[in-house]
Amino acid sequence: MGEDRRPEILDATCRVIAKVGIPGLYIRRVAEEAGVSRALISYYFQTRDDLLQAALAFAEQRAIDEIASRTHSGTAIERITQALVLEFDDSPAVRDNWVIWSELTEAALFDPSMRGPIAHWSQEWDAAVAGAIREGQADGSISSSVDPDAASERLTGLVDGLGARWLLGELTPERAQILVREAVHLELT
């Protein structure tokens, strides 16, 4: 058996979505981007929807790993602040991730089969932030009067809303980071 070629195919799929959006996502284009045959893509991913859902999972897991690798120190409130602020890191990888998220969210509006995967990652993200809030209540860095679930839903909802504006150039990453830092302070202290 050869090596697993899925990661490079999914990485290429993410680059194609970030460049041209889901309407321009064709297997042929992914094959060119990845430098593999269309047959190989079809071997791993039977349908375009399979490929889309796997690309979403790949992009989200990569973002989670990236944030986890950069937010290991400090109190819980410091780690939450770092993690949310990193969502507005002005690097191509972060920006591509936002475009992919935005494109797949939009696709789910008219394609209910995409809603489960999108909801799954929203919930993962909410649960991670709510878990960190509970850790902060244990380590004393976050007020015990905070409702972890409501605060988490609002913080991640705010990041989603500001992310859309950042993508369209309505908001600088620096401004988004300031707004998010203040939101963490208002919500959690």
The correct pick among 42, 82, 122, 143 for binding its own copies (CB under 8 A) is: 122
Q: Of the listed pieces 42-50, 80-88, 132-140, 168-176, which binds its own copies according to CB under 8 A?
A: 168-176
Nearer to its own copies, 41 or 67 (CB): 67
Under rule CB under 8 A, residue 153 binds its own copies = yes
The correct pick among 21, 40, 82, 143 for binding its own copies (CB under 8 A) is: 21
- Angle between helix 76-86 and helix 48-70 axes, rounded to 10 deg: 130
- Geometric angle at alpha carbon 141, from 126 and 152, rounded to 5°: 15
- Angle between helix 173-188 and helix 148-167 axes, rounded to 10 deg: 170
Pull the structure tokens for residue 33.
């981007």
For residue 87, give the nearest of 2, 9, 165 by alpha carbon. 165
Binding to its own copies (CB under 8 A) within 90-119 occurs at: 99, 102-103, 105-106, 108-110, 115, 118-119
For residue 84, give the nearest of 154, 189, 170, 169 by alpha carbon. 154
What secondary structure letter does DSSP report for 189? Answer: -
Is residue 85 within 8 A of residue 181, CB to CB? The reply is yes
Under rule CB under 8 A, residue 179 binds its own copies = yes
Nearer to its own copies, 58 or 88 (CB): 88
Contact residues for its own copies, defined by CB under 8 A:
20-21, 23, 99, 102-103, 105-106, 108-110, 115, 118-119, 122-123, 150, 153-154, 156-165, 167-171, 175, 178-179, 182-183, 186-187
